[in-house]
A and B are shown apart, each in its own frame.
Chain A
């Protein structure tokens, strides 16, 4: 335990305490006083009224809600369609686990190359259908392209997990339901989904945490633009606060985000643990 704890304290706990500490100071290259000067809660007060920060927080939450719900529904539907075992299944599964191992930054590059006007296939064919597709110019198109990219990236993962979960279920409840004359959708809603509740909740937990901290793909695809259309919270800290070297303010921002993350993580963790206990009973 000790070596792991030492490293985690060094890269996890010390930065955490340090960021709490710096958050109470005015510290930037452009501030009047050289070095750090005590600012009390000023940084946090600024944060509450910072419209850019609040907008990017709202944008991130909208992005998370959209992507996670689309991915869950699509993933469950596809997994149900593909339940029947066929030859070559492991080959197709290997292809589906491919987006999970590829670097997000390379995926962002691939999507950028596909959506580049004058070069990529997407603008070309959408133009033929009468849609002027340019994610460098239209904010909404850029936002929905990032959503679609994330759905593309993570739906296969949810499908694979569900296939694994479905195949691990016992057969007897389904057989007795069939004997009792239950219809397909009844079996789905009253037996399959409740039995897979722990899997569903675990997936929700992982996907929500992942979607909230998205940076790499979006950074490579749009760079947070056009304007601020795809500037999610991670990109906001990175691209807005870093160049200004406003260390105190950036620390306050990090603290707020860490706080949200820990509360959310704790909350979801309790739900997941509860659901597992329920099934074990």
Chain B
């Protein structure tokens, strides 16, 4: 007779154990953020404990209401949302063109857009900083530290990503539907708006949400290309670490706040995130 532990039930139990262990391991740093954000300065030091019964709300209220962090979050929302809208509109047209028309150099253009996504931001940061602050200047008007400047910069990695994702989906829509619509007298714009957009709506939603999350999370460009007007929440987080000392509780609180919107969106895209982040190479 087989014992319980080597049987099917035992195996299943074992797998549950692994999942639970891995989940705790994955969640722990986020949980630690929460713990630190709930503690006062005095509670932070000494013997580390893993549970908390009191909640020190001032870690949240002071930076958000009395400091500049409220406006940082506002900037982040504007930049991420503006960038996402721009990216999706452009990506739909680009994906349609790359998928439906055979033109010379299409593969090269496609590869070039992908290298933009893959290139280290540190390499682009330098010329962009010079262009934004010194070269593309008309009088007092420049791109440095403006929302529109940041919205454009994030296209550098969000646009290739969205084009790649949407091209795969548009490729899957049979071209005969296009042709039928064209015989009925639809223009190219009409085809895109009435056929391509509704049929690829789930893909567009995934591209939309993931682009938004990437723009929200981005740090390096935001740190170099903004100074005060268009600072985002991620740069604000890094500003907590100063020479004179860091208010760890408030930093944890703001980190937690910056984590919440992506987590809310995650529940919508969780099924597609693997497909999205591998550029459609793997799908569930």
- Inter-chain contact A266/B216, CB cutoff 8 Å: no
- Inter-chain contact A251/B126, CB cutoff 8 Å: yes
Inter-chain contacts of A233 with B (CB < 8 A): 120, 122
**5 extra interchain contacts, Cβ-Cβ under 8 A, other than A106-B33, A233-B122?**
A86-B16, A95-B23, A165-B282, A216-B219, A272-B281
Contact with B along A149-186 (1 / 0, CB 8 A): 00010001100110011011000000000000000000
Inter-chain contacts of B256 with A (CB < 8 A): 106
Contact with A along B158-175 (1 / 0, CB 8 A): 011001000000000000
Looking at A106, A118, A257, the one whose CB has the most chain B CB atoms below 10 A away is: A106
- Does B213 lie at the interface of the complex (its beta carbon under 8 Å from any beta carbon of A)? yes
A8 to B108, CA, bound (A): 14
A interface, by DSSP: helix, strand, loop or mixed?
helix
Inter-chain contacts of A107 with B (CB < 8 A): 29
Interchain CB contact (< 8 A) of B131 among A14, A104, A157: A14
Contact with B along A112-132 (1 / 0, CB 8 A): 011010111100100000000
CB contact under 8 A between A219 and B278, given known A82-B19, A118-B45: no
- Does B266 lie at the interface of the complex (its beta carbon under 8 Å from any beta carbon of A)? yes
- Does B65 lie at the interface of the complex (its beta carbon under 8 Å from any beta carbon of A)? no
A198 to B281, CA, bound (A): 8
Inter-chain contacts of B118 with A (CB < 8 A): 209, 261, 265
- Report the nearest B residue to A101, measured CB to CB: B262
- Report the nearest B residue to A208, measured CB to CB: B118
Interchain CB contact (< 8 A) of A7 among B131, B159, B279: B159
- Inter-chain contact B16/A212, CB cutoff 8 Å: no
A35 to B116, CA, bound (A): 30
Number of residues of chain B lying within 8 A (CB) of chain A:
93
Q: How far is the CB of B277 from chain A (nearest CB, A)?
A: 7
CB contact under 8 A between A269 and B111, given known A84-B15, A220-B238: yes
Interchain CB contact (< 8 A) of A242 among B224, B279, B283: B224
Q: How far is the CB of B44 from chain A (nearest CB, A)?
A: 5
Interface residues on A, range: 35 or more
- Report the nearest A residue to B8, measured CB to CB: A84
Contact with B along A231-255 (1 / 0, CB 8 A): 0011101100110000100110111
CB contact under 8 A between A103 and B258, given known A11-B152, A90-B270, A121-B32: yes
- Inter-chain contact B93/A3, CB cutoff 8 Å: yes
- Inter-chain contact B248/A98, CB cutoff 8 Å: no
- Does B22 lie at the interface of the complex (its beta carbon under 8 Å from any beta carbon of A)? yes
Interchain CB contact (< 8 A) of B15 among A15, A86, A95, A109: A86
- Inter-chain contact B30/A110, CB cutoff 8 Å: yes
Interchain CB contact (< 8 A) of A12 among B15, B156, B259: B156
Inter-chain contacts of A124 with B (CB < 8 A): 47-48
- Inter-chain contact B273/A97, CB cutoff 8 Å: yes
- Inter-chain contact B33/A161, CB cutoff 8 Å: no
Inter-chain contacts of A114 with B (CB < 8 A): 29, 32
- Inter-chain contact B220/A234, CB cutoff 8 Å: yes
- Inter-chain contact B120/A98, CB cutoff 8 Å: no
Q: How far is the CB of B7 from chain A (nearest CB, A)?
A: 13
Q: How far is the CB of A247 from chain B (nearest CB, A)?
A: 6
- Report the nearest A residue to B116, measured CB to CB: A12
Inter-chain contacts of A94 with B (CB < 8 A): 266-267, 270
- Inter-chain contact A98/B238, CB cutoff 8 Å: no
Inter-chain contacts of A104 with B (CB < 8 A): 217, 219
Stretch at the interface among A16-24, A39-47, A65-73, A138-146: A16-24
A92 to B270, CA, bound (A): 11
Interchain CB contact (< 8 A) of A10 among B89, B97, B152: B152
A192 to B149, CA, bound (A): 47
A98 to B121, CA, bound (A): 23
10 closest residue pairs by CB, A with B: A213-B120, A234-B122, A1-B97, A15-B127, A4-B94, A103-B217, A19-B127, A110-B29, A4-B90, A101-B262
Contact with B along A74-107 (1 / 0, CB 8 A): 0000100110101000101111111111111111
Inter-chain contacts of A116 with B (CB < 8 A): 248
- Does A111 lie at the interface of the complex (its beta carbon under 8 Å from any beta carbon of B)? yes
Inter-chain contacts of B219 with A (CB < 8 A): 103-105, 215-216, 219
- Does B74 lie at the interface of the complex (its beta carbon under 8 Å from any beta carbon of A)? no
Q: How far is the CB of A249 from chain B (nearest CB, A)?
A: 10
Inter-chain contacts of A250 with B (CB < 8 A): 126
